[in-house]
Amino acid sequence: MQKLKYLQIVDVIILTIILFGQAIYSSTLSFLNTKGLGDSTLTYTSSLQNFQMIIFQGILILIALTYLYFRRFDFRQWQCQFSLRSTAIALFLFLTLAIMMDLLFFILDENFRNALFYYPWNFSEGVKHIILQFKNFPLILYAVLNGVYEELFFIGICNYIIPKAKKLIFVLSLIIRISFHTYQGLLSAIGIGLFLGITYFWFYNNKSKNLYPIFLSHTIADILGLSIVRYFIIAV
User: With 90 as the cut, is the pLDDT of residue 209 above it?
Assistant: yes
Contact present, 49 and 141 (Cβ < 8 Å): no
User: With 90 as the cut, is the pLDDT of residue 162 above it?
Assistant: yes
188: three-class secondary structure by DSSP: helix
Domain annotation covers residue 116: yes
Average pLDDT over residues 56-71: 98
Q: Crossing angle, helix 9-33 and helix 166-179, to 10 degrees?
A: 20
User: With 60 as the cut, is the pLDDT of residue 145 above it?
Assistant: yes
User: With 90 as the cut, is the pLDDT of residue 236 above it?
Assistant: no
User: With 90 as the cut, is the pLDDT of residue 230 above it?
Assistant: no
**pLDDT value at position 235?**
47
**pLDDT value at position 34?**
81
The percent of residues in the chain predicted with pLDDT above 90, rounded, is: 80
Domain count, the chain: 1
Domain annotation covers residue 213: yes
| Distance from C-alpha of 180 to C-alpha of 236, rounded to nearest angstrom | 22
Q: How many Å separate Cα 43 from the centre of its chain?
A: 15
Domain annotation covers residue 108: yes
The CA distances from residue 14 to 18, 148, 203, in Å, are 6, 19, 26
Domain annotation covers residue 88: yes
pLDDT digits (tens, 9 = 90+) for 9-58: 999 999 999 999 999 999 999 999 987 665 555 566 788 999 999 999 99
User: With 90 as the cut, is the pLDDT of residue 188 above it?
Assistant: yes
| Radius of gyration for the chain, computed over Cα atoms and rounded to the nearest angstrom | 18
Closest CA to 58 of 141, 139, 140: 141
Domain annotation covers residue 152: yes
Domain annotation covers residue 236: no
pLDDT digits (tens, 9 = 90+) for 91-139: 999 999 999 999 999 999 999 999 888 888 888 888 888 898 999 999 9
Average pLDDT over residues 49-74: 97
**pLDDT value at position 119?**
83
pTM of this prediction exceeds 0.85: yes
Domain annotation covers residue 2: no
Give the angle 60-177-87 at the CA atoms, nearest 5°: 80
37: three-class secondary structure by DSSP: coil
User: With 90 as the cut, is the pLDDT of residue 179 above it?
Assistant: yes
| Distance from C-alpha of 81 to C-alpha of 83, rounded to nearest angstrom | 7
Q: What is the mean pLDDT of the chain?
A: 93
Give the angle 82-86-90 at the CA atoms, nearest 5°: 115
**pLDDT value at position 47?**
84
Q: Which domain holds residue 149?
A: 9-70+83-231
- Where is average pLDDT lowest: 19-23, 71-75, 127-131, 192-196? 127-131
Domain annotation covers residue 220: yes
| Distance from C-alpha of 220 to C-alpha of 27, rounded to nearest angstrom | 22
